[in-house]
Amino acid sequence: MRILLAEDDPLLGDGLRAGLRQAGFQVDWVRDGPAAERELRGQPYAAAVLDLGLPGLDGMDVLAQVRRAGVTLPVLVLTARDAVPDRIRGLDSGADDYVIKPVDLDELAARLRALVRRAHGQPQERLQVQDVQLDPAGRTVQRNGQPVALSTREFDLLQALMLAAGRVLSREQLEQQLYPWGQEVDSNAVEVHIHHLRRKLGPQLIQTVRGVGYLCPRTAAGG
């Protein structure tokens, strides 16, 4: 899934980006407040990690402004400000979670996964549609209890569809979730990945809505 990282410290930002990529996230990184606000208003991210001490526009102001503009994606505030009033202000400004630096990368990734699940109405850690179960943390997929090997892009595409189970996603929406800035995308890349997923997981898992996009049917989430 694609997330925005807003952090002005080059060493910390580089480490966070590398760690989150290793955890399976596609990461776009900005280094100042105006860029963070622009991206949050204009791009369909699954979530954002927002430092409060950003140059140009304080992260707290970024958060307040995008919330007033109707941006609803989950935002995890990452900051060195550990005073209780700062945490209260961040949460009241629209933050969904609040983490004090230094942060453990595994914990940060787990918190982001939880925020995204809740935003999609998925209470359980593992996602299930029909006989297919997906574990976002372990990045594994099983069908009828048997492991199925997927490429990175196939896994990311399946996760996007299963998180949005019951809702149609267009090819453009899927491309935006799968590919970060500057990466060229073949015109039929999504179709190719869906073909491979159907071959590995059965033809009924992903349905085509002609002229609109693709969806996984809604079923109960697995635990």
Q: What is the pLDDT of residues 23-33, one digit of tens each?
A: 989 899 999 99
Average pLDDT over residues 86-111: 84
* 3-state secondary structure (DSSP) of residue 89: helix
The pLDDT value recorded for residue 105 is 92
Write down which residue in 88, 119, 150 finishes a domain. 119
pLDDT exceeds cutoff 60 at 222: no
Total tally of structural domains belonging to the chain: 2
Measured between alpha carbons, how far is residue 204 from residues 56, 154, 196, 208 in Å? 50, 16, 13, 10
Q: What is the pLDDT of residues 155-179, one digit of tens each?
A: 999 999 998 888 999 988 888 888 7
Q: Are residues 43 and 100 in the same domain?
A: yes
Distance between CA atoms of residues 157 and 175, nearest Å: 9
Residue 70 binned pLDDT confidence (cut-offs 50, 70, 90): very high
Percentage of residues of the chain with pLDDT beyond 90: 59
- The pLDDT > 70 percentage for the chain reads 93
- The whole-number pLDDT of residue 4 equals 95
Expressed as residue numbers, the domain containing 61 is 2-119
- The band of 44, judged by pLDDT with boundaries at 50, 70 and 90, is confident
User: Is residue 10 located within the same domain as residue 109?
Assistant: yes
Q: What is the pLDDT of residue 185?
A: 62
Residue 9 and residue 105 in one domain: yes
Q: How is residue 21 written in tokens? A: 């990529």
**pTM for the model:** 0.79
Residues 140 and 63 in one domain: no
84 with 166, same domain: the answer is: no
Helical residues (DSSP H) of the chain, grouped into ranges? 10-22, 33-42, 59-68, 84-92, 105-119, 152-163, 171-178, 189-201
What is the chain's mean pLDDT, rounded? 88
Q: Which of 29, 45, 94 is nearest to 66 (CA)?
A: 94
